[in-house]
Structure formats: C-alpha cells, structure tokens
Structure 1
Amino acid sequence: MRLAVIGHGTIARYAMERLKERGHRIVALVLRPERIAETRACGPDGPVLVSSAGDLPDGIDHVIDCAGHAGLAAHGPAVLAAGHDLTTVSAGALADPALHDALAGAAQAGGARLCIASGAVGALDCLRAARVGGLRAVRYVGRKPPRGWIGSPAEHMLDLDGMHGPALTHFTGTARQAALVYPKNANVAAAVALSGLGFDATEVALVADPQVSRNVHEIHVEGEFGTFEFRIEGTALPDNPRSSALAAMSVVSALERHDAPIVF
C-alpha cells in the first residue's frame, strides 16, 4: 500500500519501520511547518513532506494519524473528505462532540472510513461482542508509576517525584471527562468507551501507584453475557518511556486488518 502518515513522533516512526518491513511504502508525511524544516535536515531521501492534507500526492491508499488529538483535529476531516481512509490511535479525541461530528460528516461526504486502532489495551473484541447482548457496567482503571503522570493534571494534585507509599487515585469520572482532561493519557479509556457503553456511561479511575513499574490497564465488565476482567502491563517504546509499544503495534495491526481479504 502507498501510505501517508500524520506526525513523526515515536509511535509514527515505529509504525513506519514495521510497515516498510511488510512491504508498504510511506510516500508522504503530514507535519507542522516547523517540523518540516527539522525533518528535512535529517536527509533528502524519503517521503514527500507536506503541511496539509490538501497537499498530499495522488495515489494514497491509506492515511495513518499518529500525531495525537491535535493532529486528528487539524487534518482528520480534510483527509476523510478527500476520500482517504484514515487510521488513528487518538480515540480520546472523539470525546469532543464537535470533532466527532466533523469526522463523521467528512467520512460520509468523502465515502471514507475512520478506523480507531485498539491502542495500548486488548479485549475490545470481547467487549464489542458483549455489547450486543447488553452491558450493565464497564469500568476502566489506568495505573501508572507516579512519574508516568508527569505532564498531566495529576502533577498539580500529587507529589509525583516524592511518592513512595500507597497508590493514590487522582481522577474518577466518566470516560468523556477523562479524555478531555487527560488528552495525552486517556486514549485507552476512550477506546474502551467506544467499544462498550459510550463516553458518558463508562467509569474511569486513574491511579498513581509506586508499586508498579509499567503502565497497567484494567477493564471490568458486567452484562447479560456474564462478567469479565482484563489486565495488561504494557512496556514502553525504547525511544520514549511515555509511548506504549502495544499502541504503536496496534497501528500496524489495524492497517493490515483493513487491507486483508479475510478479517478476524
């Protein structure tokens, strides 16, 4: 496939390398104007660098967004309206009703589809199946080492550098509230919400826990099917301790499922 990628951060670079290994071609990058100059400084070879979806070259088969909520908001509607299918890891951005409607409208207008990669969590296929029979409760708990919350609102509530005692919950609320207040930390909560009861009925707790060394994601579900609990302890990408390795892998997986003749 001929691919375009929005962003050039850790997750984007990982996904690009894995996709190239699988025979796909990265033909364009969509970057902020100041990032274009920096990226060009890394060498003249490689994909075309553009600052807007309107400047993408012809013949793009699929666009991948790895630029966070801001990147999806800035470029997603134009990409979809131009008829390009788009995969994103920024599930949390859809908590904004205006952006959700803009993306949906653009996809319909362009005859394209927006695919949400599963990101740093699993069991979403089970959750989607359980939704068919009826769900009573879905709760997501995100647990990180204290320093994993640096740069989020948690650092205004807790002494993240000095925490050595018990785990402390610094947020409880809905998935919509979590995604809007913690835009860099709540994509998993949003993916759980989109797969289950929705943003306003999914319960979320975010925890700073000195006893864990990895990011821990837990899903607790009750419904007509029965109950299930899922827990994953995720490792980070080597180049960035804040970027989930599984989130980057899910981008590649989502693209390959989208293009596969048999999907499971």
Structure 2
Amino acid sequence: MRRIGFLGCGKIGKALVRHIAEREDMAVEFIQDPGFINDIGVQCPVLAKADEAAFAGADLIVECATAQVLSENLELILAHCDLMMFSVTAFGDPDFERRAKALCGTYGRTIFIPHGAILGLDGIFDGGPVWRQVTVETVKSPSSLGRQDNRRSVVYEGPTREACVHFPRNVNVHAAVALAGIGFDRTISRIISDPEVSTNAHRISLSGDGISITLDISSYAAGAVTGAYTPYSACGSLDRALGNGAGLRFV
C-alpha cells in the first residue's frame, strides 16, 4: 500500500484523490489545505498545516497548492519521502532550484515533474542539446489571469523566469518547458488575455539544428486556472511516479 499526502487539494488534487480511491494499492495519508471543501467524501485527516509526523507517514507528497507553500515545506517533505509537484514555477527562483537539487542529493529523494497540460514534455527534454529557440504562448481569459481586460491584450512577453514571478499560478506550462529545455532565461513567454475565450490554449514552438516543432494545445477552462485535460494527465503521472500498473506503459 502506497500512502500519498497532499499539499493543496483543488481541482487537480480532488481528481487524484478520486483516482486513488479506485485503487487498492494506494491510500490518501493526509490533505494539507486550510480551505479544503470536502465534497468528495474524503476519510483521511485534513490539516491546516502538516507536521513532521504527517510527512513521515507518506511515501509520496503530491503538491498542487502554490509555489510558496511548496517552498515552505520543501525540506520537511524531502527529508521523509519523494515529491510530485505541480507548481513548477517554483523553479523560476534560482534559490529554490539549488535547494531542491541539494536536498534530493542529501536525502536520496526524487522530485517528479508531471507533464500537466503539455504533450511531448519528454521529447522537449530529450532534444535539449539541439534547441536554439523556444517560445511558449498562452491565451487565457482575463478571469483566469486575475485580470479584467475587456479586449485581447498581450499582458507579458519576455523571459520565462519573469513570467513565473508575475503569473505564478498561470505559467506552469512555461516553467515545465523551460526546465525541460533551454532554461528560464532563454525561453521566451508570451501571455495573452482574451475575454472571448473559454479555453486555456498553449502554443509551444521549438527550433534548432534542422528541427522545428510546434505544439498546439487547447483545453476547456471556463475562467479557471486549470484546464479540463490536466486532471486526467495528473492521474497518469501519479501512476507512473509510483510504478503501478501492469500491461503497456508509456514512459
């Protein structure tokens, strides 16, 4: 039985909790989320703040809260178990990246980066040495971005590292691409606010050494930060992180 603890339990977290409930080889150890609304029949402890004993009882912590919550708990998590993190924008902070890598080495832990809304993140990582230019363009509704624009507007264009500072909850796709590819300073982010859309749309463009790839991804969101596809991909990432399941497995 693999025991899973949660930091944050919103749309993604609840999808994962439901997924775990359908399996006999996993169980939810605890949920840390002071604003959690238990509309899915959770039976585990729900904590305002997890202590060391809670982390020590888990085999894996799934973070789907915020980069700040993740950073505050990082050492306590990795001292006791592995981590699967959805707030990939945390890596936009060089200090966080240094801490994460050092703590993994100290405690022999693994940090799993789920692909989230992205298709082909493994291919971006595999092609890392050849990429010369990488851009990520995201189009979301103003409400998803925490804005009130009444017309389509480019609200940010520049290095992904700064995009992570200004839109930490909206550019995890950008952060994952940067982390897998050519880094936060060379990857260029473009964020567009459009009141006419009900989707979260991402265009990822990569080129270099005779290779050109463009990925277009659109997922219904209706003003939410998280699109409809991400919870499904999160369940697959959890299964792969824990090495569960017989039969065909795409890695």
Q: Does 1:218 align with 2:182?
A: no
Change (3 A) 1:70 1:147: same
Aligned to 1:11: 12
Counting only pairs closer than 5 Å after superposition, residues 30-69 of structure 1 correspond to structure 2 as 30-32=32-34, 35=35, 46-50=43-47, 51-56=49-54, 58-69=56-67
Paired with 1:109 and 1:258, the residues of 2 have a C-alpha distance of 20
Aligned to 1:148: 144
Deviations 1:205-258 (A, max 9, x none): 001234533110010000225101000111238xx8332233323332222112
- Paired residues of 1:121 and 1:246 also in contact (CA < 8 A): no
Aligned with 2:185: secondary structure?
A: coil
Aligned to 1:253: 236
Paired with 1:81 and 1:219, the residues of 2 have a C-alpha distance of 35
Matched positions, count: 244
Aligned to 2:134: 138
Aligned with 1:56: secondary structure?
A: helix
Which stretch shifts more, 67-76 or 43-52? 43-52
Paired with 2:120 and 2:39, the residues of 1 have a C-alpha distance of 39
Change (3 A) 1:214 1:59: same
Deviations 1:126-166 (A, max 9, x none): 2112214x1110000001133332x2xxx3xxx51x32xxx
- Paired residues of 1:127 and 1:196 also in contact (CA < 8 A): yes
Which stretch shifts more, 68-77 or 200-209? 68-77
Aligned to 1:209: 194
- Paired residues of 1:214 and 1:233 also in contact (CA < 8 A): yes
Paired with 2:167 and 2:191, the residues of 1 have a C-alpha distance of 10
CA RMSD of aligned residues (A): 2.5
Change (3 A) 1:48 1:146: closer
Q: 1:214 corresponds to which letter in structure 2?
A: T
Change (3 A) 1:18 1:42: closer
Q: Does 1:71 align with 2:63?
A: no
- Paired residues of 1:85 and 1:113 also in contact (CA < 8 A): yes
Aligned with 2:20: secondary structure?
A: helix
C-alpha displacement of 1:95: 0.6
Structure 1: 5+ residue stretches without partners: none
Aligned with 2:226: secondary structure?
A: strand
Q: 2:240 corresponds to which letter in structure 1?
A: R
Change (3 A) 1:5 1:202: same
Deviations 1:5-44 (A, max 9, x none): 1112222112111222233211212234xx4xx76x8899
Which stretch shifts more, 100-109 or 185-194? 100-109
Change (3 A) 1:107 1:139: same
Change (3 A) 1:209 1:52: same
Aligned to 2:213: 228
Identical aligned residues as a percent: 25
Paired with 2:127 and 2:30, the residues of 1 have a C-alpha distance of 39
TM-score, normalised to structure 1, is 0.83
TM-score, normalised to structure 2, is 0.87
Change (3 A) 1:184 1:43: closer
Paired with 1:47 and 1:247, the residues of 2 have a C-alpha distance of 24
Aligned to 1:194: 179
- Paired residues of 1:77 and 1:107 also in contact (CA < 8 A): no
Q: Does 1:123 align with 2:120?
A: yes
